[in-house]
Structure formats: structure tokens, C-alpha cells
A = this chain, B = another copy of it.
Amino acid sequence: MLDKGVTESLAQNIVATQWHDVPPQARHQAKRSLINFFAVTLAGCRSSPIEIALGLLGQFSGSRQASVIGRRERLDAASAAFINAACANVDDFCDTHLATVIHPTAPVAAALLAFAELRPVSGADLLLALILGNEVQARIGLAISPSHYNRGWHITSTCGVFGAAVGCGKLALLSERQMVWALGIATTQSAGLCECLGTPAKSVSVGNAARNGLLSTLLAEKGFDGPAEPLAGVQGFYHALAEKPDLSRLADGWGESWEIMATSYKPYPCGFVIHPVLDCVLDWRRENPKAGVTHVVVRGNPLLSLRADRPKISTGRESQVSVQHAVAAALVCGKAGLEQFTDSCVREPEVLKLRSKVEVLRDENFSTIAAAVEITTADGRTHKLTQTAARGSDVNPLSDRELEDKLRAAAAAWNSRYDVAPLIDAIWGIEERSDVSGLLSLAVPA
């Protein structure tokens, strides 16, 4: 734990990496992450926890310098970072870095877009900051995966604050020394617990990751300093929040491959571990729309049971982490969109009845993106289905068009006359922009 200069080396890499170091496929993936970010933020921006948080922060917020995606309200930049990150993650619909289970874009993009309303930021700079924020939070998380998450840490929040700080630090052109300070100020704000998953409280730590990452950078920029070795110091982040971190993950292969390439984008608004199960169930349901189901056995990675074995739920929010609900709703409705994870769908008598017939088994032979499902029908037959790589995962990716459709669907659910074509065009063409703040005005329906 006494490795000298772990944080300094990381800061050095961050500061040294420039736009021309990033290959075209990573740049393109960053745009895909932005398309997905706006889709999930528009999907989440009217949920009740967001209404409450927005109402509260609005009472404290000052100059209305920054946009809330999908909403007319404006907030100060720090509060906007909080709300936009919370919106992006509130429905469990945002992107996933499966090796760490970090939802990478919510905290980083929310912080960067808020920064871009404080000072002009070019499209290329925004993409680079997003890629680097993503890279650093993934690497900090990889060094402690899976033990950190398994212990109960909500890794999107605990590592997201670093991604937000680093991304904003890149936009602010922090020096190496300032970047170490920003990382230090971020370490002491790293928080978030999985116990809160399935409740509105989850969104607080995700919002804080964006807000506090942004503030870490703005403080460091003004000379507000921190410790020399906040990550690997004897009383620092890795000592307190991790068991046996593999610190080589912070630096090894830097610039050779890019963690953003390992991003998965969700077709369904629920925990990713549930996705391969839904692929199986929805495929089968398409072929068997009328069959009466009497029993379902789901087999998956232990994380599926750990996170999503929740037969008894009472709210839409809980349903996002209930495999029983997801299966039942998909069988009843033939789809698994936003409306299948609402309070009213949870209370639907047919769904309720079917939830109790879904059994979950853990099997270490399955990866987190694989599952097997056995569906028994009223005629006594059993139908066996398997998915080896969930749709939307990095090895079975959604197409650009499917991501656009996800954004279009989220916008249409908001307001059927809200045309997001200009927003989509602006994202694909973002490198041409000298100031990206215009994107945000396209993300608020007229």
C-alpha cells in the first residue's frame, strides 16, 4: 500500500493524453455513450425522486446557468450536474462497464455538460474528457473488482466521482499537481452503498458523484490542495475501501486499449444481470404469445441472485432489480420497456401472479451476460432457452440505429411532438462544434 507516486503517475497519464492519442473507434463509442446518456436521462427526468430532488435543490440554487435535460427548470452548474446524473441512472437504464459494473457515463457526462455551461468547451475536448473520465473510473474500479462491489459499495458512485473530477479536470486544463489534488478531494467524497439500490436513495450518491467530481476540479484549480497520495496512501482510498487492490490496473497498458470500448448499452431499463434472461423470455414470447406459463426456472451468474432475486416487491423502482418481475412482465406484456417497470405494472394482477412462479438458481458457470431459462407451460411442456451474450453487451452490441431508436423512444414517451433528430445529428457531428453547450438546448423539449 506504500507505492510511491501511484496518484501522480495516474495524473501524469491523464494530463499527457491528447485528442490525437484516441483512436477513431473510441471517439465514435463516446458519441454512442452520449446518445445513450441523453436517452436514459430523458427517460428518467420526470420520475418522482427527480421531481423531489429538483424541487429541493431549486430552493437553494443560484444563477440559473445550467440546463436540466428534458426540463424547463434551470439550475446552477453543480446542482445541474447532480440532477442530470441522477436522471441518467434513476431508471437503471444507463450504460454499464460490465467488468466493474460501473455505469460510466451518468456521473461523467453530467459533470462535463455542466462544466460546458460554465465555460465554452469544444466537441473534441468534450469527447476526450468523457473518454478519459470513463477510463480512469474504470481503472480505479478494476483494481478493486469484484470485492469492492461485493462488499456493498455502489461502484458507479464511489468511482464515478473520480471520472467526473478527471473529465472536468481535463476540460479545466489542470496541471499534474492540480489533478492529484482533484483526485484527492474526490477520494474524500467517494461514497454510495448498494443497500440503496431499488430505492430513490440510490440516485443521491450518483448525483453526488457528478456534482462532487465537478467541485473537486473547481476547488483544485483554485489551489485548494489535498494529500500527495490520496489513492494509495496508508489512510487513503484503497486502504479504506478495498481489499488487496491490484494497483497495476491503474497504469498498465494506458493508451493501448480504451475502457470505453467495453461499454454495454441496455435495451431494457433494469439491472444488466437481468438482461440475458429477458432476451430468452422475449424471444420465446414472440413465438408463443398465447401460451399459459405455469413455472419458470432462471439460471445465471451468482450476481443475478445477489442483486435481483426479489420475488416480493411493491414499487416500480424495486422492479428494476427483480428478475421475477422482469420475467413476469415480459411474459404478460411481450416487451420490457419503461412502462413494464412502473408501480402500476408491479400491481398488475397477472404479473403479480406470475412473479411467484419464477425461481432463480445460481450457477458459477454463467458469466454475468449469460443465462438459461426453462419455461413450463400449462400443457406440461418445458421450453429451454439460453443466451450466451446479452443484447447490448460489448460483445453483442446495439447498433448505432438501435441507440438512436432508444433516444427517440425516450423522447416520444416524454412528448410525442418532441423531435430529437437535431440532437442526434448534433451528437454524431459533435467534433465540428467549438461550443457544445448548444446540445443542451436541443435536449429540452420546446
Q: Kindly list chain B residues whose C-beta atoms are within 8 Å of the C-beta of A234.
A: 152, 195
Question: Does A151 lie within 8 Å of B240, measured CB to CB?
Answer: yes
Given A151-B239, A189-B208, A239-B151, is A195 in contact with B229 using a C-beta cutoff of 8 Å? yes
Q: Kindly list chain B residues whose C-beta atoms are within 8 Å of the C-beta of A61.
A: 60-62, 76
Question: Does A195 lie within 8 Å of B76, measured CB to CB?
Answer: no
Question: Does B59 lie within 8 Å of A195, measured CB to CB?
Answer: no
- Write the nearest CB–CB distance from A237 to chain B, whole angstroms: 6
Question: Does B195 lie within 8 Å of A224, measured CB to CB?
Answer: no
Question: Does B222 lie within 8 Å of A55, measured CB to CB?
Answer: yes
A236 interface residue (CB < 8 Å to B): yes
Question: Does B236 lie within 8 Å of A152, measured CB to CB?
Answer: yes
Of residues 130 through 155 on chain A, the ones whose CB sits less than 8 Å from some CB of chain B are 151-154
Interface size on A, residues (CB 8 A): 61
| Of B154, B188, B198, the contact of A196 (CB 8 Å cutoff) | B188
Q: Kindly list chain B residues whose C-beta atoms are within 8 Å of the C-beta of A2.
A: none
Among A179-187, A270-278, A279-287, which stretch is in contact with chain B?
A: A179-187
A204 interface residue (CB < 8 Å to B): yes
CA–CA, A191 to B56, complex, Å? 22
A386 interface residue (CB < 8 Å to B): no
A190 interface residue (CB < 8 Å to B): yes
Of residues 187 through 209 on chain A, the ones whose CB sits less than 8 Å from some CB of chain B are 187-202, 204-205, 208
Question: Does B224 lie within 8 Å of A52, measured CB to CB?
Answer: yes
Nearest chain B residue, comparing its CB with the CB of A149: B235
Of residues 228 through 257 on chain A, the ones whose CB sits less than 8 Å from some CB of chain B are 229-230, 233-237, 239-240
